[in-house]
Amino acid sequence: MIYLPFIRAHWRFLLFGFSLEGFSSFGQTYFIALFSGEIRAEFDLSHGDFGLYYSVATLASGFTVVWLGRKIDHIPLKRFTIYVLFGLAGACALTAATPVAAFLFLAFFALRLAGQGMMTHVAVTSMARYFTRDRGKALAIATLGMPAYQAFLPLLVVAGIATIGWRATYASGGLLLLGIMLPLTLWLLRAGPPAEDGPAPLAAGSTAPRRWGQRDALRDPRFYLVMPAALAPAFIVTGFMFHQVHLVEMKGWSMELWASGFAAYAAASLLATLIVGPLIDRFSATALLPFYLPMLAVGLIALAVSDDQAAIFVFMAAAGMTTGFSMATIGALWAEIYGVQTIGSIRALSSALMVLASALSPGIMGWMIDAGVTMEDMAWMALVYVALGTVLLAIASVSIRRTL
Cβ atoms 206, 337 nearer than 8 A: yes
Cα(6)–Cα(13) distance, integer angstroms: 11
Cα(248)–Cα(255) distance, integer angstroms: 7
Examine the pLDDT at 150 and tell me if it is beyond 60: yes
Examine the pLDDT at 208 and tell me if it is beyond 60: no
- Percentage of the chain with pLDDT > 90? 37
User: Which positions ≥6 away from 120 have C-beta within 8 Å?
Assistant: 20, 21, 24, 146, 351
pLDDT band at 304 (very low <50, low <70, confident <90, very high): very high
Cα(403)–Cα(391) distance, integer angstroms: 19
pLDDT band at 202 (very low <50, low <70, confident <90, very high): very low
pLDDT band at 195 (very low <50, low <70, confident <90, very high): low
Cα(171)–Cα(34) distance, integer angstroms: 15
Examine the pLDDT at 201 and tell me if it is beyond 80: no
Cα(230)–Cα(322) distance, integer angstroms: 10
If we measure between CA atoms, which residue out of 343, 309, 105, 93 comes closest to residue 206? 343
Q: Which of 51-65, 90-104, 382-396 has the lowest mean pLDDT?
A: 51-65
Q: What is the mean pLDDT of residues 236-250?
A: 88
Q: Which residue has the higher pLDDT, 337 or 91?
A: 91
Q: What is the mean pLDDT of residues 93-100?
A: 94
Q: Could you report the per-residue pLDDT of 131-142, keeping only the tens digit for each?
A: 888 888 898 899
Cα dihedral 193, 196, 198, 204, rounded to 10, equals -150
pLDDT at 404: 63
Cα(113)–Cα(121) distance, integer angstroms: 10
If we measure between CA atoms, which residue out of 344, 315, 311, 329 comes closest to residue 135? 329
pLDDT at 115: 92
Amino acid letter, residue 24: S
Q: What is the mean pLDDT of residues 202-219?
A: 62
Cβ atoms 378, 315 nearer than 8 A: no
Q: What is the mean pLDDT of residues 277-299?
A: 88
Mean pLDDT score of the chain: 87
Q: What is the mean pLDDT of residues 95-115?
A: 92
- What pTM was estimated for this model as a whole? 0.76
Long-range own/partner contacts, residues 167-173 (CB < 8 A, 24 or more apart): 167/96, 167/97, 168/96, 169/35, 170/26, 170/35, 170/92, 170/95, 170/96, 171/92, 171/93, 171/96, 171/97, 173/26, 173/92
- Which of 11-15, 50-54, 145-149, 344-348 holds the top average pLDDT? 11-15
Domains along the sequence of the chain with CATH: 10-403 (1.20.1250.20)
Q: What is the mean pLDDT of residues 279-301?
A: 89
pLDDT at 210: 55
Other beta carbons within 10 Å of 327: 27
Q: How far is CA 41 from CA 6, 44, 166, 272, in A?
A: 49, 5, 12, 37
User: 144 exposed, middle or buried (CB, 10 Å; 0-12, 13-18, 19+)?
Assistant: buried
Backbone angles phi, psi at 340, to 5 degrees: -110, -5
Cβ atoms 40, 213 nearer than 8 A: no
Cα(390)–Cα(285) distance, integer angstroms: 15
